[in-house]
Structure 1
Amino acid sequence: MVRKLAAELLGTGLLVYVAVGVATLSFGFGTTGTSYAAGVVATALAFGLTLLALAYVLGPISGCHVNPAVSLGALLAGSITLVEAVGYWGAQFVGGILGALLLWGTFAGSPAYSRSTTGLGADGWGDASAIHINGGGAFLIEVVLTALFVFVVLGVTGRTANATMAGLTIGLALAVCHLIGIPVTGTSVNPARSLGPALIVGGTALDQVWLFIVAPLVGGVLAAGLHRVLFPKPAPVPRVNPGGTET
């Protein structure tokens, strides 16, 4: 269990440091120039490719959830126990905060960095959204995208799935979610990814972070329910006792 929790903490921290780092460079520092689309693609690939690599490295240890919504879906789908899920949540949130702190410490060394203007890749709606989406729209898209992502994770890691392709599929799914979600909310689909940067940036990001914790968890619940409907567990095979009765 200690190895699993360490893997979840490390994986979540690295995901935040690398992928949120690319988001901050693209939209905060403006390293992609005047092309907003270039920043979207770069950030989406950063999240997808980072998770892809982590899935193959950490997957054999903990399953590489690195996302409380994924752990909630796995719990409701019967893949992990409640004790494991609670431990995973704690490790993921701590990892997200540590990754954000490390990222902030890195960027703080640049004279061009300002926590209030450059930010730290935080999610948001209203004025914090590129299309100024309202709270209801932000909640809806986070639920839908998280449900899609968690459903994919549960499907490709199930008993009938091809394990060798799981990491690639999961990474691509996360990248696709970011391609549509970045212009809308910045894309969370991961409460731990959102909480760390929001705690450091504060202000609007911290005021709005509740949505990026609640909505992905709702999406995880929906994904687990859909997975149970479409991939029901097979009925146990009757066993014949020596006396001729079946159990």
Structure 2
Amino acid sequence: MFAAAFPEVGIGLLGVSFAFGLTVLTMAYSIGHISGCHLNPAVTIGLWAGGRFPTKDILPYLIAQIVGAIIAAGALYLIASGKADYDLGVKGLAANGFGAASPGGYSLASGIAIEIILTFGFLMIILGSTDTRAPAGFAPIAIGLGLTLIHLISIPITNTSVNPARSTGPALIQGGVALQQLWMFWMAPLIGGVLGGFAYRWLAAEETVVKPAITGEPTGRVSRKAH
């Protein structure tokens, strides 16, 4: 937020996208072995749908994610307000939005579509790269670069959510349209997350196939089980 449009050397859309991606990449290596690095309610729900997360742990994780997002947004506002010409009503906190609140003026339908599609894709990346059959140790890189790509695609449309907690923090502090439109940034990512979880679970499910007869080898069945 601070560096995006800094005079003459602003990092722009590309830099902001990498900032989000690198944040997840580094956090995944830092705390992934402790909590799984769930920073996103849509990821938690998607992993549950994919059979990778227990139902009993969903609520505590969601609470922690939302509280963390609110604290982060508060810290962001505290720092931003230290600039003499900063106006929360004018410059906001990089909140998500559609319609008039969309950076590119995209409609509600466009916002719902992009948030569902990209969250779906994000869950496929997460579930695929953390599968026991995937190369070990590289999941944070794939996930971080995946989130970078997601931001490169959707910042002009919704300012990129794919994370209800990320949307909630700024909306609660900024209020107004950001808070009024928050419902969509819960609904769409959660739908995308659930669809992604179920889709990967189906792709990786136990599969029984007929093994063709070869000379000296009887016809049989082999199975591939999900991990």
TM bucket (normalised to shorter chain) is 0.7 to 0.9
Report the equivalent of 2:24: 51
The structure 1 residue matched to 2:85, chosen from 87, 112, 120, is 112
TM-score (norm 1): 0.80
C-alpha separation in 2, matches of 1:34 and 1:173: 25
RMSD across aligned positions (CA): 1.7
1: CA distance, partners of 2:69 / 2:117 = 22
Q: Is the counterpart of residue 71 in structure 1 residue 44 in structure 2? A: yes
State TM-score, norm by structure 2.
0.87
Higher strand content, 1 or 2: 2
Gapped regions of structure 2 (runs ≥ 5) = 209-227
Distance of 1:218 and 1:32 partners within structure 2: 39
Matched, 1:152 2:125: yes
Helix, strand or coil: the match of 1:80?
coil
**Which residue among 132, 142, 152 is the counterpart of 1:179?**
152
Counterpart contact for 1:32–1:39, Cα < 8 Å: no
Aligned pair partner of 2:108 in 126, 135, 160: 135
Residue 130 (structure 1) shift: 2.4
Question: Is residue 34 of structure 2 the alignment partner of residue 61 of structure 1?
Answer: yes
Taking the aligned partners of 2:196 and 2:156, their CA distance within structure 1 comes to 23
Q: CA contact under 8 A between 2:25 and 2:143: conserved in structure 1?
A: yes
Aligned residue in 2 for 1:195 = 168
> How many residue pairs were aligned?
208
Moved more, 201-210 or 168-177: 201-210
Identity %: 42
Match of 2:189 in 1: 216
Runs of 4+ in 1 over 6 A off after TM superposition: none
AA in 1 matched with 2:21: G
1:131 is displaced (CA, Å) by: 2.0
Report the Cα offset of residue 163 of structure 1: 2.9
**Which structure has the larger Rg over C-alpha atoms?**
2
Rounded to whole Å, the distance in 2 between the matches of 1:183 and 1:128 is 11
**3-state SS in 2 of match to 1:212:** helix
Give the Cα separation in 2 of the matches to 1:167 and 1:45.
14
* Paired residue secondary structure (2:106): coil
- Within-5 A mapping of 1:6-17: none
- Indicate the residue corresponding to 1:245 in structure 2: none
Q: String of CA shifts for 1:112-140, please: whole Å, max 9, x gaps.
A: 21101111010101111122111111001
The structure with the largest helix share of the pair is 1
By how many angstroms is 1:175 displaced? 0.3
The 1:199/1:232 distance shift into structure 2, 3 A limit, reads same
